[in-house]
């Protein structure tokens, strides 16, 4: 009680709740310069990137750490700390885990995901439950498992075949149209092929492509949007849906999601796809939440990644040609072999830097915690603080990624910056873009995701030349970021 009073008093006085020599700067709730309020509301939640932007409106007047780490401290609520400082982002991720005193993943911004997929998944859970799920579910995706040469080659070939078949359909439609160029929104095509690789190639199901594209993809897209709305409306959405009759649509899509989860799990009994290597006594029920997360989350993240890469390339024909020269005779792709398809790898790296799929990583302080960066700056973070590791703005900040450091402006797409950084002695290990996270909660699907995205982008370039429909592509964001135009491009067949 006393601590509640002293906290509220401190909040009313406007004292900084953080301590140390790297103090964050205060953000006011009402400021005429804010693009939108710096908290999600039913009116601004569709513009999360602008909510983050609001944290930095007053930052121009601040100096040093107060410019890059910002906090909001409202009476009756725990402080919210947003940081775009890569050193703090790295330190906090390294200190996230199940050990006493470590940070949790903050479940507040993903409450809707938890309600839709189950709270015991690898993505949503914390502490002992997370450790259990990690030991259970991370193994089939791990690099050491997936990238055993023979196994990798097997998946690579089936994935490649799937991508080729789908792009062949696009090619045939283009050839039949008789037009030299066709305008097409690629996002739905990417979603379908990503889901097909996961469900049929990886989990060993055999769902017809038309059903995946026309039934399961729309169900997942609907539910992912529903999860975002459900989070912001703090559990009131089911009631609102009842009043409007929308609950029937939700129920229909949720049933499709369950069916797809069953189809993905069905291969387990016969050891199909990745299940052949899955050694565990865990029941199917214990795996369900994870399978749901893998289906919805992986489709979302890989679509975002591939969609952005294709979108960036549609503005950069020179990089399309460089990649074409590499992939035209390539019949085997290993995303971790940097000597192979170098331009493709640079483009993918730069895509994740400039337009990361997951634009922020949420954390929560489980106890009062000191955090120290590698360059010895320290910040004391009070228990309960909601941390938002703002990867989107960190990677676009001129101070950390700009011309002086990398040779190119931070907010432009320039794959050549990675070569320049190398020349300057800056390794990718030092310059982290956090596209797959960092530390104990690093993405277990990285190898699988990179393979899928590399194959899709490589195959697109091999068959087509494509240019963006409009000179600028704005970003939109929900669970992940996406090109705002749905990857609208003019396609032209090569050769
Ligand atoms: C290729 C595109 C992908 C991107 C850009 C991506 C990105 C990320 C990032 C940034 C995180 C860390 C989140 C955090 O620290 O809070 C993460 C975690 C996670 N990813 Fe991915 N991911 C991708 C693909 C996949 C795939 C294909 C799967 C599985 C099939 C997957 C499953 C997961 C899971 C379960 C977690 C949570 C891990 C944990 O908390 O221990 N991801 N992903």
**Residue 203 · residue 295 · CB < 8 Å:** no
From the CA of 130, give the closest atom in ligand 1: 41
Q: What is the DSSP string of 73-135?
A: --TTS--EEEE--HHHHHHHHHTBSSSTTPBEEP-GGGHHHHHHH-TTSTTT--HHHHHHHHH
Could you tell me if residue 27 is inside a domain? yes
38 CA to centre of ligand 1 in angstroms: 26
92 CA to centre of ligand 1 in angstroms: 17
Tokens of 140: 């089939």
Q: Is the CB of 123 under 6 A from ligand 1?
A: yes
Q: How many CB atoms lie within 10 A of CB 191?
A: 23
Among 274, 279, 103, residue whose Cα is nearest residue 197: 274
Q: Is the CB of 435 under 6 A from ligand 1?
A: yes
State the helix-helix crossing angle for 237-244 and 247-266, rounded to 10 degrees.
120
Domain residues for the domain of 40 are: 1-106+361-389
Q: Is the CB of 436 under 6 A from ligand 1?
A: yes
Nearest alpha carbon, ligand 1 atom 26? 445
Characterize the bridge pairing of strands 25-26 and 69-72: parallel
From the CA of 202, give the closest atom in ligand 1: 30
443 CA to centre of ligand 1 in angstroms: 4
Number of domains forming the structure of the chain: 1
Nearest alpha carbon, ligand 1 atom 13? 437
Q: Is the CB of 155 under 6 A from ligand 1?
A: no
391 CA to centre of ligand 1 in angstroms: 14
Could you tell me if residue 317 is inside a domain? no
Could you tell me if residue 25 is inside a domain? yes
Q: Is the CB of 223 under 6 A from ligand 1?
A: no
Could you tell me if residue 370 is inside a domain? yes
Q: Is the CB of 443 under 6 A from ligand 1?
A: yes
Could you tell me if residue 222 is inside a domain? no
463-474 pLDDT, tens digit each: 899 999 999 999
250 CA to centre of ligand 1 in angstroms: 25
Could you tell me if residue 133 is inside a domain? no
Q: Is the CB of 394 under 6 A from ligand 1?
A: no
14-47 pLDDT, tens digit each: 789 999 999 999 998 888 778 888 888 888 888 9
Q: Is the CB of 105 under 6 A from ligand 1?
A: yes
Question: In which residue are the tokens 């439609």 written?
Answer: 173
Q: Is the CB of 141 under 6 A from ligand 1?
A: yes
Q: Is the CB of 386 under 6 A from ligand 1?
A: no
Q: Is the CB of 298 under 6 A from ligand 1?
A: yes
Q: Is the CB of 124 under 6 A from ligand 1?
A: no
378 CA to centre of ligand 1 in angstroms: 29
Could you tell me if residue 56 is inside a domain? yes
- pLDDT string in tens for the chain (495-residue length): 447 777 777 777 778 999 999 999 999 888 877 888 888 888 888 899 999 999 999 888 888 899 999 999 988 889 999 999 999 999 999 999 999 999 999 988 877 788 888 888 888 999 999 998 888 776 666 666 666 666 677 778 888 888 888 888 888 888 888 888 889 999 999 999 999 999 999 999 999 999 999 999 999 999 888 887 777 776 777 777 777 777 887 888 899 999 999 999 999 999 898 888 777 788 898 889 999 999 999 999 999 999 999 999 999 999 999 999 999 888 877 777 767 899 999 999 999 999 999 999 999 999 999 999 999 999 999 999 999 999 999 999 999 999 999 999 999 999 999 999 999 999 878 899 999 999 999 998 898 899 899 999 999 999 899 999 999 999 999 989 999 999 999 999 887
Could you tell me if residue 144 is inside a domain? no
Nearest alpha carbon, ligand 1 atom 16? 361
């Amino acid at each position: 009680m006393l601590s509640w009073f002293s906290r509220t008093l401190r909040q009313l006085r406007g004292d900084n709740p953080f301590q140390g020599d790297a103090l964050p700067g205060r953000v006011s709730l009402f400021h005429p310069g804010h693009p939108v309020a710096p908290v999600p509301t039913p009116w601004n939640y569709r513009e999360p990137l602008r909510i983050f932007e609001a944290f930095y409106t007053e930052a121009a007047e601040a100096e040093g750490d107060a410019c890059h780490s910002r906090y909001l401290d409202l009476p009756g609520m725990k402080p919210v700390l947003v940081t775009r400082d890569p050193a703090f982002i790295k330190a906090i991720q390294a200190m996230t885990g199940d050990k006493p005193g470590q940070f949790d993943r903050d479940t507040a911004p993903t409450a809707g995901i938890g309600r839709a997929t189950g709270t015991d998944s690898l993505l949503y859970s914390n502490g002992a439950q997370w450790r259990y799920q990690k030991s259970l579910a991370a193994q089939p995706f791990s690099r050491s498992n997936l990238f055993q040469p023979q196994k990798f080659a097997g998946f690579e070939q089936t994935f490649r075949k799937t991508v080729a078949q789908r792009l062949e359909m696009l090619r045939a439609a283009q050839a039949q149209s008789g037009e030299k160029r066709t305008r097409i929104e690629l996002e739905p095509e990417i979603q379908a092929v990503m889901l097909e690789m996961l469900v049929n190639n990886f989990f060993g199901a055999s769902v017809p492509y038309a059903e995946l594209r026309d039934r399961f993809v729309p169900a997942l897209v609907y539910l992912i949007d529903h999860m975002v709305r459900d989070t912001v409306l703090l559990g009131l959405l089911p009631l609102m849906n009842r009043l409007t009759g929308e609950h029937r649509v939700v129920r229909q899509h949720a049933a499709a999601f369950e069916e797809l989860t069953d189809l993905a799990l069905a291969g387990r009994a016969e050891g199909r796809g990745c299940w052949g290597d899955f050694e565990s006594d865990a029941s199917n029920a214990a795996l369900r939440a994870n399978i749901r997360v893998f289906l919805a989350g992986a489709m979302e993240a890989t679509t975002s990644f591939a969609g952005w890469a294709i979108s960036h390339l549609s503005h950069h024909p020179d990089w399309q040609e460089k990649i074409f020269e590499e992939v035209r005779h390539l019949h085997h792709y290993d995303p971790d072999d940097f000597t192979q398809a170098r331009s493709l790898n640079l483009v993918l790296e730069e895509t994740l830097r400039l337009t990361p799929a997951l634009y922020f990583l949420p954390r929560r302080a489980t106890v009062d915690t000191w955090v120290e960066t590698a360059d010895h700056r320290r910040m004391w973070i009070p228990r309960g603080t909601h941390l938002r590791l703002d990867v989107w703005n960190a990677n676009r900040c001129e101070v950390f990624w700009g011309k002086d450091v990398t040779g190119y402006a931070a907010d432009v797409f320039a794959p050549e910056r990675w070569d320049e950084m190398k020349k300057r002695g800056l390794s990718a290990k030092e310059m982290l873009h956090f596209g797959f996270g960092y530390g104990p909660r690093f993405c277990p699907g990285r190898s699988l995701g990179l393979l899928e995205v590399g194959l899709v982008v490589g195959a697109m370039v091999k068959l087509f030349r494509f240019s963006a429909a409009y000179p600028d592509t704005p970003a939109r964001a929900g669970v992940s970021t996406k090109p705002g135009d749905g990857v609208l491009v003019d396609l032209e067949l090569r050769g």
